[in-house]
Amino acid sequence: MVGSALCRRFAELGYRNVVGRDYRELDLRDAVSTERFFRETRPDVVIGAAARVGGIMANHTRPADFISDNIRIQVNLLDSAVSTGVQRFLFLGSSCIYPKFAEQPIREHALMTGPLEPTNEAYAVAKIAGIAQVAAIRRQHGLPYICVMPASLYGPGDNFDARDSHVIPGLMRRFHDAVREDLRSVTCWGSGSPMREFLYVDDLADACHHLLNAYDGDEPVNVGTGRDVTVRQLAEMIAETVGYRGRIEWDRSKPDGTPRKILDVRRLDELGWSAKTTLRHGLRQTYQWFLAHQDDYRGSTCPVVNGAARG
């Protein structure tokens, strides 16, 4: 999803020298293959968009995969970048790696100041390791590598798999199927009370380009909208988007996750960037993409996954 959005945005900006490999062509968990790719392509700038991601169920049932795959991907990308002379690297963290009970809105300095949300602890630990590696590279090699912390992402190219998806594509597919099957009710996980912030993936791509040109600092930069909704409100908005008019019920035996998660985006505002896409518009755009790709719930993939760019 992120790689596809980066392709779209950089193409819109006139870049013609973006290179990369689909995950089926290059396994970034393989250090030798990753190093070879860097030596063959010699990128000047890399956006580390590749990761193993998933919703609560995927994180809960496969934590070993999440910590192992993500650490290997990050180490291979960053080691190869340093060894081949990459001058600029943007590492993508995630808002879900902040402490579970961080003060809201979450400031960048809250990282590693408290316990993590247990349902995604393995993923969070891996991503924190990547941020620590970027900091170590800046300190040891003096390279202007930076970290970005996006809010929960959604948009074209998302994973709509019923079992592994995040909340927006998961609910979108569930309500879509309910309309198709004429169901009178849909049951959602948890209480619906947690509050979440969502960022349209094309806005993230634009923010990445902006920060590569505007920021060189030790601390991560939050990228979000500065606005949040309850999961219940989100479900109602998605139901409206897909045309579902039945009952929405809540299974309180399932976990809610972090009570609230919204990013403080003052640093980003000061750097001259803010999100443009409203949640309602983004949901409509995402559903239109889903309708065009519903035979393949993972969607099409962009030939550039790792966001390496020359020049």
Among the four given CATH numbers 3.30.9.10, 3.40.50.1980, 3.40.50.720, 3.40.30.10, the one describing domain 2-309: 3.40.50.720
Higher pLDDT pick, 165 / 115? 115
Q: Rounded mean pLDDT of 77-100?
A: 96
Is residue 82 pLDDT above 90, yes or no?
yes
Is residue 174 predicted with pLDDT exceeding 80? yes
Mean local confidence (pLDDT), 95-105: 94
Where on the phi/psi map is residue 243: left (φ > 0), alpha (ψ -120 to 50), or beta? left
> Is the separation of the CB atoms in 225 and 198 below 8 Å?
yes
Report the pLDDT value the prediction gives residue 297, as an integer from 0 to 100.
53
Residue 257's pLDDT is 77
pLDDT of 41-63, one tens digit each? 999 999 999 998 877 777 778 89
CA-based nearest residue to 148, from 116, 195, 111? 111
Higher-pLDDT residue of 297 and 75 is 75
Extract the annotated binding site. Answer: 92-95, 127, 166, 174, 189, 196, 256
Grade residue 311 by pLDDT with cuts at 50, 70 and 90.
very low
Beta bridge partners of 48: 91
Task: Residue 165: name the closest of 298, 22, 27 by CA.
Answer: 298
Whether the pLDDT of residue 89 is over 90: the answer is: yes
Binding residues for NADP(+): 92-95, 127, 166
For 80, phi and psi rounded to 5 degrees?
-65, -35
- Quick check: 5 pLDDT over 50? yes
Q: Do residues 268 and 204 touch, judged by C-beta distance below 8 A?
A: no
Q: Which residues are part of the catalytic machinery?
A: 123
| Cβ contacts of 167 within 8 Å, gap of 6 or more | 55, 152, 196, 231, 234
- What per-residue confidence (pLDDT) applies to 24? 87
**Structural domain boundaries in the chain:** 2-309
Q: What would the pLDDT profile of 14-44 be if each residue is shown by its tens digit?
A: 998 898 788 889 999 999 999 999 999 999 9
Confidence (pLDDT) at 22: 80
State the helix-helix crossing angle for 231-242 and 279-292, rounded to 10 degrees: 50
pLDDT at res. 302: 34
User: In the prediction, which pLDDT does 309 show?
Assistant: 39
Q: pLDDT for 139-169, tens place per residue?
A: 999 999 999 999 999 999 998 986 777 899 9
